Chains A and B, each alone.
Chain A
């Protein structure tokens, strides 16, 4: 059973465009929602994270939008650049414990110059 559902599986965006990746969850006990970025041949790296008491968090060109009532959250990449081409994973956890931490299935983003 997939605890965190992520879409789309792959995404192609023109340089300068907005990339949007969506995730949904069911367990309302989740209290931390990070996004990880993984470049080919590298390990995933924490990109940005949000807690459910806020609806939006922005760091540079990356923004998480969080809709608690819909149990959905999304990553927006503004002014997408070819260097943003990577696989993005959403995730959710409860209480910071490793045995209640779940990754989404990943989205492969390609930004075309």
Chain B
């Protein structure tokens, strides 16, 4: 069983479109995250939710909107996609208070044309 699963794995779309990435974890964790990895492999945290409550919201354009329907799911919706949004987006989860022990999904590679 996959611990943290993301869909889709690949996403190719045109500028200006809206897209969503879904994430689910079956580890029983109560904290979930979205990270962005750019072409230089740098990992940047975007959002974090704890028990469906937003606890981290880094400086991210408001075109990005996370939604957590329950503590096992954290989705990312992106409006009006721009070329600079092209990256790999990783979902991760952890137990509360153990943010150093992250479990990552396999990533969703977004390409904006």
Q: Which residues of A line the B interface, CB within 8 A?
A: 32, 34, 36, 38, 41-46, 49, 87, 89, 91, 93, 95-101, 103, 105-106, 108
State the total of A-B contacts with C-beta under 8 angstroms.
65
- Most B CB atoms within 10 A — which of A42, A43, A44, A91? A43
Do the beta carbons of B43 and A89 come within 8 Å of each other? yes
Q: A98: which B residues are within 8 A, CB to CB?
A: 31, 33, 45, 48, 50, 55-56, 94, 99
Q: B106: which A residues are within 8 A, CB to CB?
A: 41-43
CB distance from B22 to the nearest CB of A (A): 15
Size category of the B interface is 20 to 34
Q: List 9 A-B contacts (CB under 8 A).
A: A34-B100, A43-B105, A43-B107, A93-B99, A96-B99, A97-B97, A98-B33, A98-B48, A103-B42
Provide the bound-state CA to CA distance between A47 and B33, in Å.
19
Which one, B43, B98, B107, contacts A103 given CB within 8 A?
B43
Q: Which residues of B line the A interface, CB within 8 A?
A: 4, 31, 33, 40-43, 45, 48, 50, 55-56, 90, 92, 94, 96-107
Provide the bound-state CA to CA distance between A96 and B48, in Å.
13
Nearest A-chain residue to B95, judged by Cβ: A96
